[in-house]
Chains A and B, each alone.
Chain A
Amino acid sequence: MKKYLLVFWAGILLLAACQPGASQIVVQDAWARPAGAGENGAVFLRITNAWPDDDALLAASSQVAAAVEIHRSSMQDGVMSMTPQERVELPSGQEVVFAPGGLHIMLVDLQQDLKVGDTFEVTLHFENLPPQTVTVTVREP
């Protein structure tokens, strides 16, 4: 009887793990460059939408900066410019890469130094799925 109970609870746990929510948007390799208080920083990461429906990243927030924005750097005729993004599409089953020279989460007016080895939290806000907080590691690229 005890054995059956164990299987029952294991089943409940398994079901809980499969509930929609935190694990449907998979964020990997979140990192930021070292930067000083008062400067601007950038967070890079990879977002995979493992949910059957499309979603979009609408905003990000963090305690470490006065403001957090989503930007895209782009190159035209050797000239680099940055454009704030209102939304970044996250198509179902696809990975979107935030990397140097492209998409980045911009930390405007850092409230603290970001030193190599430090970690801090950034919360990502999506159109459909609940917000997700990820830990960002400060490192050299």
Chain B
Amino acid sequence: MKDLSKRNLLWGGLVFGLIFAIGLWQALSQPPSFRGALLEPLLPAPPLQLQTSTGEPFDLQDYRGKVVLIFFGYTSCPDVCPTTLAEMRLLQANLGADAADLQVVFITVDPQRDTPERLTTYVQRFSPQFLALTGAEEALQTVWDDYGIFREIQEVDSAAGYLVAHTARVYAVDKAGNLRLTFAFGTSAEDIQHDVQILLQEATP
């Protein structure tokens, strides 16, 4: 009787240990689960042949080893664009020292009204580290197309003049320069931070 219960205990322990080991192996071997949408197949991020709002040429290649978050918008936009940029600022602040390897980039969808000065003032209000990009309409059109940005000028009855309907997603470029993830409007700063932290931990190629 005593022997039997001892044996049961031994078997129980073995089974428990096995289950634990399988669980651990699964947890370690699974790819990290992202909260944003994974872009597949994995492709290099299309180039951004544009200028910064302070007049310097921009080259995405210079940002290998950094995580780049790209958002498209316009400075006359009082709601969705500031909401997203405020989230980016919160994310940057929450990352602390790790934010050194993060670059937030705002690309205009309204070059007609978004002068470089306006763009600079607009993004700097959120963070002096943020960059705003602009360029000739043709160069911008290439970028909008490459990133699948829908953008349409809407003539509405508003004192603001026309409004611009535009894709309101955030795109994440990883350290290897691949267009990796996209976040829908309204994704919490916490969820974006979760994913960005995974990307920041990846080895620099």
| Interface residue ranges, A against B (CB under 8 Å) | 33-36, 39-42, 66-67, 69, 71, 73, 75, 77-84, 100-101, 104, 106-109, 140-141
Contacts and interface: CB of A to CB of B under 8 A. Distances in A.
B83 A79 contact: no
B96 interface: no
Given A40-B78, A41-B78, A100 B83 contact: yes
Contacts of A75: 168, 185-186
Interface in B181-202: 184-186
Interface in B103-139: 121-122, 125
A83 B78 contact: no
B165 interface: yes
Given A33-B86, A75-B186, A141-B86, 16 more contacts: A36-B125, A39-B122, A40-B78, A41-B78, A42-B79, A66-B159, A69-B160, A77-B150, A79-B150, A79-B166, A80-B166, A82-B80, A83-B156, A84-B158, A104-B79, A109-B160
B35 interface: no
Interface of A, secondary structure class, is strand
B78 A101 contact: no
A36 B124 CA distance: 11
Contacts of A107: 78
B64 interface: no
B168 A84 contact: no
Nearest to A113: B125
A87 to B, nearest CB: 14
Interface size band for B: 20 to 34
A101 B160 contact: no
Contact of A82 (B75, B159, B163): B163
B185 A78 contact: yes
A35 B86 CA distance: 12
B154 A81 contact: yes
B166 A84 contact: no
Contacts of B156: 82-84
A101 B76 contact: no
In this complex, the member of B77, B79, B121 whose beta carbon has the largest number of chain A beta carbons within 10 angstroms is B79
B82 interface: yes
A71 B79 CA distance: 10
Contacts of A106: 78-79, 158, 160
